Amino acid sequence: MQQESAKPTPPELWVVVPCYREEEVLPITADALHSLMGALVNEGAISASSRVLLVDDGSPDGTWGLIRALAEDPAFGGLFCGISLAHNRGHQSALLAGLMEALERGCDCAVSMDADLQDDPAAVREMLEAHAAGAEVVFGVRSSRERDTAFKRGTAHAFYRLMSALGVETVPDSADYRLMGRHALEALSGYGEENLFLRGIVPSLGFRTAKVYYERGERAAGESKYPLAKMVAFAVEGVTSFSTAPIRMVAAAGAVFLVIALVMLVWSLLSAFLGSTEPGWASLMVSLWFIGGAVMLSLGVVGEYVGKCYLESKRRPRWHIAERVG
């Protein structure tokens, strides 16, 4: 009589949640994650040692106090733990700090998600199923953008098209809601750059991937930490961190301006020969402003790359953990 094969041991899952000024929404998030993790443990999908790691990114409000209270509350059975960064380092650095902390503490896989509950926590169940089926990285992908404004929807699609045109590998309509297995996390730990764009780094790791589609909801409480200015800065960070195409575009623009200059020279000589020139040429002023603006834009693009080289060359620590709890 054949013995039944032993059931695989459920993985130790760590859910990593970066937090910056999330005092208002954090209690709601904690209740939702407590219910989800309890259900997954009962289903045998994850081990009872699974944790939720809350990363305080130097919040000026009471976020860290709430994280400490959650970690010390016996009602949650030690589910929550937290780290506090000594200074605000930005969402990407806080997220990576949490993932590396989970890796060091022995997780089998980690799910990263924002604290606002816009990313449906229920999708974690499907992510775990895809991971069990062999996917080392599972991306949470929005099923639609119908709730976005036309402006936000249009700019988001334009961003992904731009990244694709520049040769940057990204997953359209996927933010930082994803599951990563231990092998992927170990590979990610080898990336030491200061200028982090995880949405480009993770797809480039090369492991087997899968996608889980979900409906993105409204923010549970509080206000968005990504206004338009930050979104634009994030897009610039993504482009310049992964592609030198803007530098080549500057060179191409220089060639175009040279052709324009030659055309203007021919036109100027013809105008002088025909005697149709007048003092204070408007065309001359337009040309000067055009070339001047192009030069300044080119210097800005080159300066962006030089600045990144400067930051990377110093090799400073990307963050300092001021305190741990749980």
Mean pLDDT calculated for residue range 245-268: 68
Instruction: Return the pLDDT at 270.
Output: 72
136 has pLDDT over 90: yes
Within-domain flag for 6: no
The number of folded domains in the chain is 2
Evaluate if residue 265 carries a pLDDT over 70.
Answer: no
User: Is 95 in contact with 55 (CB distance < 8 Å)?
Assistant: yes
In this prediction, residues 148-167 reach a mean pLDDT of: 74
- Count Cβ atoms below 10 Å from residue 304 Cβ, excluding itself: 15
* For residues 172-201, average pLDDT: 89
CATH code for the domain in which residue 153 is found:
3.90.550.10
Same domain, 192 and 261: no
Neighbours of 195 (CB within 10 A): 15
Task: Dump pLDDT digits (tens) for 230-246.
Answer: 666 666 666 666 666 67
Q: Report how far Cα 248 is from the mean position of its chain's Cα atoms.
A: 25
CB-count exposure of residue 134 (10 Å: 0-12, 13-18, 19+): exposed
* Residue 133 sits in the same domain as residue 88: yes
- Of the two residues 303 and 317, the one the predictor is more confident about is 317
Q: Is 287 exposed, middle or buried (0-12, 13-18, 19+ CB in 10 A)?
A: middle
Q: Are 125 and 41 a contacting pair, CB within 8 Å?
A: no
CB 127 within 8 A of CB 112: no
Say if residue 101's pLDDT is above 70.
yes
Find, among 114, 286, 100, 138, the residue nearest to 217 by Cα.
Answer: 114
Residue 87, SS3 per DSSP: coil
Domain holding 291, by residue range, is: 245-314
Domain membership flag for residue 43: yes
Q: What string of DSSP letters covers 131-151?
A: HHTT-SEEEEEES--TTS-HH
Cα distance between residue 193 and residue 90, in whole Å: 14
Whether 191 and 216 map to the same domain: the answer is: yes
For residues 55 and 15, the answer to whether their CB atoms sit within 8 Å is: no
Confidence category of residue 1, pLDDT binned at 50, 70, 90: very low
The answer to whether residue 236 is domain-embedded is: no
Do residues 185 and 283 share a domain?
no
The reply to whether 300 and 321 lie within a common domain is no
% of the chain residues with pLDDT over 90: 46
Top pLDDT among 286 and 195 is at 195
Residue 302 has pLDDT above 80, yes or no: no
Average pLDDT across the chain, whole number: 83
Min mean pLDDT across 21-35, 273-287, 289-303 is at 273-287
Answer whether residue 222 shows pLDDT above 60: no
In this prediction, residue 172 carries a pLDDT of: 84
Strands 51-56, 80-85: parallel, antiparallel or unpaired by DSSP?
parallel
pLDDT tens per residue across span 65-85: 999 999 999 999 999 999 999
DSSP helix/strand/coil, 55: strand
| Shared domain check, 97 and 33 | yes
pLDDT at residue 239, as a whole number: 64
Is the same domain home to 145 and 261?
no
Question: Per-residue DSSP letters for 142-188?
Answer: ES--TTS-HHHHHHHHHHHHHHHHTT----TT--S-EEEEHHHHHHH
In this structure, the answer to whether residues 18 and 100 fall within a common structural domain is yes
Question: What is the structure's pLDDT at 155?
Answer: 75
Percent helix, strand, coil in the chain, to 5, is 50, 15, 35
- Residue 223 within a domain: yes
Give the pair of three-digit tokens for residue 236.
């610039």
The pLDDT of residue 9 is above 70: yes
Query: Is the same domain home to 137 and 58?
Result: yes
**For residue 229, what pLDDT band results from cuts at 50, 70 and 90?**
low
Contact residues for 213 (Cβ-Cβ < 8 A; gap 6+): 141, 142, 143
Q: pTM here?
A: 0.75
Asked if residue 237 is part of any domain, the answer here is no
pLDDT, residue 129, reads 96
